[in-house]
Amino acid sequence: MSNDQTIDSVTSSISTIDIAPSRHQQYSKLALLPVELILQITEELCSDKASLPAKELKNLALSCANLFYLIRPMYYLADNCSIFHSALKQANVDQMERCALFGAAPDTKWNITNGCCCGAEKPHKYHRPIDVLLECVSVGSVSLDKCIDALRWLLSKSYDAKEQGDQDWYRINDNCEHMPMLLFNMLTPECSRDRIERICQIIRILRSYGYTLPHDVNFDSFYRARYYLSTTDPNIIRKPMDVAMRAYCPPHLLELVLQEYRIRNLKIRAWSQDCPPEAESWVGSYVARDSAFYRPEIWAQSSSLGALLWNLYSDLLDSSTGWIEKHPGEAADILEQKIKLLVKYRAIDIFEEGALRKILGVLKDIATMAQSLGGLDEERDAHTLHELDAERPRRLHRFVIEKLWNPWKVWHEAQLQKPQARAKMARHWIHDHRPFQKGDGTWTDLIWVYAESRSVDPAYLGHHLPRWEEMSYDEFSAAVEELFETIKREDAEEEAREEARVAA
């Protein structure tokens, strides 16, 4: 049995013991020992050499009323205040308060031996009280209401609640006072509405105690993706704005993000050569760990309209996610409220507002269509949503179309993750070259990757895929097939010529 399991099993019994002055007379051998011997036992326990585990102290305390009051403080302090650690894992505020009463609730660090389940970008090597509590939130082991009560208790006692210093970005930015970024990674479409609201409440509480929202999220993961030319993956959360614009997140989360700019008197739309001084303590400095992946400082952000479109599709139409509209048009209503907030905080210009309102118009059209046809349809309505990209503005300040964004590629990769969709794919190049399942369990189409790589390879002049916005998904897929067949035929012809030269 692990130390944590031992603590969990014994803490409840001793912490609820009635310590009223009148107790039943005890007849144990220990109780009948002379006072001198009992004092000698307690002196040995109080010495620096004593290191009895909590379980042994608990048994000893329960064996004799005379020892109970003497040993109880030692019990709470035993095993590096493991009783407090256990109380945090249960979000038990009463037990946490008892630990504090006996000076056994330090703002300390516990080393992790069995792995971290928090969901932090870089797995934690140790946990502080706030980390233990947020792990409960992450894995759902304790009710969120209890976790919120425990969080308020920690904050009221001035426990440290900022991002951990062993995260890649935060090592040299200890002064930034960011709240843990893993809170934003917890906000996923698989969460229930109540869970989303409770996590947002945790973010608001931390903000009310002076902890700022992180400027960037998953910094290291983004740059690894950048190296592999996959930064257009809409599932990569790069900043709080990426989460706040999702349909399943309430508008008040977006307002919290926008307030970070207002309280610093920052003009979001303003262009600048350097990071504004008012933002430096929020943005922080970045470690140039590898010049190929990292720049010394990144303070100007952009949000991809392509990723926004895809995420709206996922939230609204993808049956694999857990978020469902309460009423037809709810996603459009939420986006409309968020556009109003962006305008209110002067976060977008007229071109960005126009692009967002085009997306809003399509969402409203889909809602009207769904009402008339008896519900949403993934195949029918998703194409309507993606074809909006053809009418894009050329340049946006905050909301942009990224150069590498290709919704047909994202759509194709999403379909590959669905067994039924893979079975329906009847193109012969799919059957000749089966999709490949990667180590993480996701599926990829190596033929699509092959055609795209040859399309940009200077050695294959004249072999280019058309621009995606000029055609539908089916037309683009046919172009991929045609390019692959052309390259395949030319490679075979070149191989035959080489064999003929060798034979001659």
* C-beta atoms surrounding 93 within 10 Å: 16
| Domain ranges (residues) in the chain | 3-101, 410-503
426-447 average pLDDT score: 68
Measure Cα distances from 324 to 162, 317, 443 in Å. 33, 9, 26
Look up tokens 């505020």; give the residue.
93
Tell me the average pLDDT of the chain: 76
359 has pLDDT over 60? yes
Q: Give tens-digit pLDDT for 80-120.
A: 898 899 999 999 999 999 999 999 999 999 998 888 888 77
Q: What global pTM score does this model have? A: 0.70
d(CA 405, CA 309): 11
Which amino acid is located at 38 in the chain?
I
Of the chain, the end-to-end C-alpha distance in Å amounts to 76
Residues 6+ apart with CB under 8 A from 146: 90, 91, 92, 93
Q: Give tens-digit pLDDT for 228-269.
A: 444 456 666 778 998 999 999 999 999 999 999 999 998 888
Evaluate whether 180 touches 233 at the Cβ level (below 8 Å). no
d(CA 207, CA 212): 6
Q: What is the 3-state secondary structure (H, E, C) of 48-89?
A: CCCCCCHHHHHHHHHHCHHHHHHHHHHHHHHHHHHHHHHHHH
Left (φ > 0), alpha (ψ -120 to 50) or beta: where does 119 sit? left
Q: Give tens-digit pLDDT for 376-398.
A: 555 555 555 555 444 433 322 35
d(CA 156, CA 456): 57
